[in-house]
């Protein structure tokens, strides 16, 4: 006959083991980061833009932030080995300040910008470097860039505008049911042109909001056409422009669009398998911060073995 104490002890151990199993299953599921799909990194580069798309062993960079080494440091932190395409949405320094350092390091296959004349030294030096390295130069003309099952559609420019922001390269990345629209610093004039001609193509479930959340970069009409669920604002903390403007935040919230901001959330990553998507913030809750570190580790390992 078994002693009662022995039976109670074994039952207690059984329940403890059961609880531990459930904890392990929860942890594995919570922190199981799959990088077999696509990843879009909206880097925290302060008051500027820099976005990395990683899809099927191809890397596409859109803008490089305001500082020479900051974007480069983000890329090297992920152990990025090569860039296929680099896109400068327009030649303002908060978007191309770090582009020269990136091109010096990576010598991408293709470089794209609006091709609008601009006299700043930083832009002239950038074009000189592109020419010296014999990098293929592209201009936006409504072309589609295919990356296996994914694609990037480059919208054509608004013709006749002399305003640099309204000559921003606007592009849309698509992978099966996932899509993300990148608006550069485009404002109402350029967006109205795109809405008139490319209304259906603009619809996306995720959008990088134009011009750091400026009130001139987001309208009710735009949101009605794009119909985003998620909006990401690339913006510097306590910037002198007051970005993002209250009007933009109020408009997004009234349209039930969930907002993420690099000034609060740090670098923001969107992962998608083409059906569902997950967002991980560098400065999110503790579980997200852990996921972010795990994701970085997996990216580094993946690059090492490519």
pLDDT in tens, 263-299: 999 999 999 999 999 999 999 999 999 999 999 999 9
Closest CA to 179 of 40, 21, 7, 30: 40
- Calculate the CA 264 to chain-centre distance: 15
What's the pLDDT score for residue 162?
Answer: 77
Task: Count the residues in the chain.
Answer: 306
Condensed to tens digits (0 to 9), the pLDDT of residues 217-262 reads 999 999 999 999 999 999 999 999 999 999 999 999 999 999 999 9
Claim to verify: residue 72 and residue 160 sit in the same structural domain: yes
What pLDDT, on a 0 to 100 scale, did the predictor assign at position 10?
57
For the stretch 13-31, pLDDT in tens is: 665 655 444 443 344 445 5
Helix or strand (DSSP H, E) at 233: strand 230-233
Contact criterion met (CB below 8 Å) for 40 and 53: yes
4 plus 137 within the same structural domain: no
The answer to whether residues 4 and 122 belong to one domain is no
Mean pLDDT of 198-202: 96
Average pLDDT over every residue of 102-117: 95
Question: How confident is the model at residue 194, as a pLDDT?
Answer: 96
CA distances from 134 to 40, 80, 118, 219, 294 (A): 28, 21, 21, 40, 37
Strand-pair partners of 207 = 181, 231
Which helix H or strand E contains 270, and what residues bound it? strand 268-272
Cβ 119 vs Cβ 87: under 8 Å: no
Residue range 172-183: mean pLDDT, rounded: 98
Looking at the structure, tell me whether residues 284 and 230 fall in a common domain. yes
Is the pLDDT reported for residue 118 higher than 60? yes
Report pLDDT for 24: 38
In a shared domain, residues 179 and 263: yes
Based on the fold, state whether residues 128 and 276 are members of the same structural domain. Answer: yes
pLDDT at 135 over 70: yes
Query: pLDDT: is 196 or 14 the higher one?
Result: 196
User: How many domains, the chain?
Assistant: 2
In this structure, are 98 and 8 located in the same domain? no
* Tokens 């305001």 sit on residue: 66
Q: Report the Cα 77 to chain-centroid distance in Å.
A: 16
Q: What percent of the chain has pLDDT over 70?
A: 89
According to the model, what pLDDT value does residue 160 have?
72
Using DSSP, state whether 93 is helix, strand or coil: helix
3-state secondary structure 143-172: CEEEECCEEEEECCCCCCCCCCHHHCCCEE
Q: Residue 244, preceding bond cis, omega within 30 degrees?
A: yes
Residue 6 has pLDDT above 80, yes or no: no
One domain for residues 8 and 60: no
* Mean pLDDT value of segment 112-129: 92
Give me the CATH number covering residue 97. Answer: 3.60.15.10
Same domain for 60 and 1:
no
Pick the more confident residue, 120 or 180: 180
Alpha helices in 172-266, H assignment, sequence order: 188-202, 220-226, 246-254, 262-265
Do 19 and 166 sit in the same domain of this protein?
no
Residue 212 dihedral angles phi and psi, to the nearest 5°: 60, 25
Query: 247 and 128 in one domain?
Result: yes
Tell me what pLDDT residue 34 has. 81
Higher pLDDT, 2 or 298: 298
Whole domain around residue 156: which residue ranges? Answer: 36-304
Three-state SS at 22: helix
Task: Tell me which residue has tokens 């990395």.
Answer: 52
214 and 246 within one domain: yes
Helix (H) or strand (E) holding 136: strand 136-138
């Amino acid at each position: 006959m078994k002693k009662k104490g022995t039976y109670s002890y074994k039952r207690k151990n059984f329940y403890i083991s059961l609880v531990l199993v459930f904890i392990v299953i929860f942890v594995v599921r919570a922190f199981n980061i799959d990088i077999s799909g696509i990843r879009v990194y909206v880097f925290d580069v302060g008051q500027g833009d820099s976005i990395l798309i990683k899809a099927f062993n191809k890397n596409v960079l859109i803008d490089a932030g305001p500082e020479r080494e900051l974007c480069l440091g983000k890329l090297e932190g992920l152990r990025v080995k090569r860039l296929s395409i680099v896109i400068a949405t327009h030649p303002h320094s908060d978007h191309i300040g770090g582009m020269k350092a990136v091109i010096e390091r990576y010598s991408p296959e293709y470089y794209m910008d609006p091709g609008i004349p601009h006299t700043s030294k930083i832009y002239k030096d950038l074009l000189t470097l592109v020419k010296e390295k014999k990098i293929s130069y592209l201009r936006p003309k409504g072309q589609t860039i295919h990356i296996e099952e994914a694609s990037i559609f480059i919208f054509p420019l608004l013709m006749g505008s002399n305003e640099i922001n309204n000559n921003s390269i606007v592009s849309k990345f698509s992978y099966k049911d996932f899509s993300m629209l990148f608006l550069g610093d485009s404002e109402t004039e350029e967006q109205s042109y795109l809405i008139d001609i490319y209304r259906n193509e603009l619809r996306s479930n995720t959008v990088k909001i134009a011009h750091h959340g400026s009130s001139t970069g987001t309208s009710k009409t735009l949101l009605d056409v794009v119909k985003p669920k998620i909006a990401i604002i690339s913006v510097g903390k306590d910037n002198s422009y007051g970005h993002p403007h209250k009007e933009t935040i109020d408009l997004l919230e009234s349209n039930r669009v969930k907002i993420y901001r690099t000034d609060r959330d740090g670098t923001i990553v969107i992962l998608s398998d083409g059906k569902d998507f997950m967002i991980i913030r560098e400065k999110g809750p503790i579980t997200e911060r852990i996921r972010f570190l795990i994701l970085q580790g997996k990216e580094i390992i993946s690059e090492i073995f490519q």
